[in-house]
Amino acid sequence: MKTITLTLAVILAACAAKAAAAPSSGAEPPAVSTRTRELVWPPPPDKPRIRYVRTIKSADDIAPKVEKKKEGFFARLIAMFSGGKVTPDIFNNPYGIWSHEGRIYATDTGAQHLTVVDPKAGTFRYMGDRGEDSLKSPVSVAVDDAGIAYVSDTSEGAVKAYSPDGKLLWKSEGAGGGAGRLNRPAGIALTPSGELLVADSSNRRIVLLGKDGNFIREMCVHAKKEYYALPNPNNVWAFPNGDFMVSDPLAARVHIFSSTGAAIGGFGESGDAPGYMSRPRGIAADSDGNIHVVDALFSRVQVFDRAGQLLVWYGSPGDVAGQLNLPAGIYIDKDGMIYVADTKNKRVGVYQYITYPEEKPSAAPQETK
């Protein structure tokens, strides 16, 4: 008995020493409100605009509290030293993300499927993970009001549509160039009329597909002004009036176009200081029209007004609450809930955009004439 106690004490001491010696990420300290102990950005005394809500990584993070299985101390200790986990992760490498009716849809490039998480029910399931309906390299996802999930499969050069129960409904034409063929499709967005905007990455254009997957037209092809050219269109987001924006990691910019593909504006410049971009990936707009841009390389999300003025940023490199590691996709729902695919941390971060009724919208999208 004395030997067991001594061994356990040595193990616990080693754990404590390892934690104390863990290297710092070099990031700024979390923006914690001393009044509420909430994780918010910007930090007090400024008005908070973003609030950290939760992280979803394993089944424990969505299990109802009354049903959550409690593991014993020795089970957790053995799992830690054996390299295993008491509860397995839900995600491998989440990349694209969407939310519909409380469910979170995330493409998983590592596991080669679409993960559907229902936090309220405490369940998760996979789509496109078997047979002829399987996904090879899923990148982005969009879900319509009927619950149909549209997924870009980069390696197959196609967009695939899945019914709510996971059955493949259709697949767009095979990879290539020309009118209806895609070459490494990336981001997807739904227009107000329910059509699909697809960032056709290697063809350097945006393609509009119908609800049935048929080609309608191409846009933003070899823009006349080099300023608006798309050397590597990555993600796309549609505004309520039909305008849309595209992030381009190679140009380190966000471009804004009308519903017909005419250039309206944009912003961005390569750099590592706040307000600059290094590798912009996911983009989304909140209810005030502010634009949230995920910068993968610097593990943060920057918020700009439509003119490109930096308003605030949230997240920092690391793996604790509110931190990010090579994030990719982002989605903001009608209630201001923000979902970020925290790719290398193998999880989804959930944040809340905070609005103030007494304030006027700071950057609402302008209607296209």
- Residue 221 to residue 231: CA distance in whole angstroms: 10
Handedness of CA 88, 127, 235, 314 (dihedral sign): negative
Residues 82-124: tens digit of each pLDDT? 555 567 899 999 999 999 999 999 999 999 999 999 999 999 9
* Strand runs labelled E in 158-315: 158-162, 168-171, 185-190, 196-200, 205-209, 215-219, 235-238, 244-248, 253-257, 263-267, 280-285, 291-295, 300-304, 310-314
pLDDT band at 272 (very low <50, low <70, confident <90, very high): confident
Which amino acid would we find at residue 3? T
- The pLDDT, as a whole number, for residue 185 is 96
Residue 11 has pLDDT above 50, yes or no: no
**According to the model, what pLDDT value does residue 364 have?**
46
Report how far Cα 94 is from the mean position of its chain's Cα atoms.
8
The whole-number pLDDT of residue 173 equals 81
Pairs from 191-198 (Cβ < 8 Å, separation ≥ 24): 191/238, 191/242, 191/244, 191/259, 192/238, 192/240, 192/241, 192/242, 194/144, 194/145, 196/142, 196/150, 196/159, 197/236, 197/238, 197/244, 198/152, 198/159, 198/236
The DSSP line for 274-294 is TT-BSSEEEEEE-TT--EEEE
Residue 286, pLDDT above cutoff 50:
yes
- Above 60 in pLDDT, residue 355? yes
Over the stretch 322-351, which tens digit does the pLDDT of each residue have?
999 999 999 999 999 999 999 999 999 999
What is the predicted pLDDT for the residue at 87? 73
CB atoms within 10 A of CB 19: 8
Please, which pLDDT band fits residue 133 given cuts at 50, 70 and 90? Answer: confident
Q: How far apart are the first and last CA of the chain?
A: 81
Sign of CA dihedral 310, 44, 345, 122: negative
- pLDDT band at residue 130 using 50, 70 and 90 as cut-offs: confident
Place of tokens 């209607």: 367
Output the pTM of the full model.
0.84
pLDDT, the chain, mean? 85
Over the stretch 211-237, which tens digit does the pLDDT of each residue have?
A: 999 999 999 986 666 778 899 999 999
**pLDDT of 160-177, one tens digit each?**
999 999 999 999 987 666
Q: Average pLDDT of 191-196?
A: 96
| Residue showing tokens 């559907």 | 116
Q: What is the pLDDT of residues 148-162, one digit of tens each?
A: 999 999 999 999 999
List CB contacts of 288: < 8 A, sequence separation 6 or more: 355, 361, 362, 363, 364
CA–CA distance, 74 with 81 (Å, rounded to integer): 11
Paired with 310 in beta bridges are 304
The answer to whether the CB of 343 falls within 8 A of the CB of 328 is yes
The amino acid present at 59, given as its one-letter code, is A
For 132, other C-beta atoms within 10 Å of its C-beta total 6
The runs of H, that is alpha helices, within the chain are 2-20, 73-82
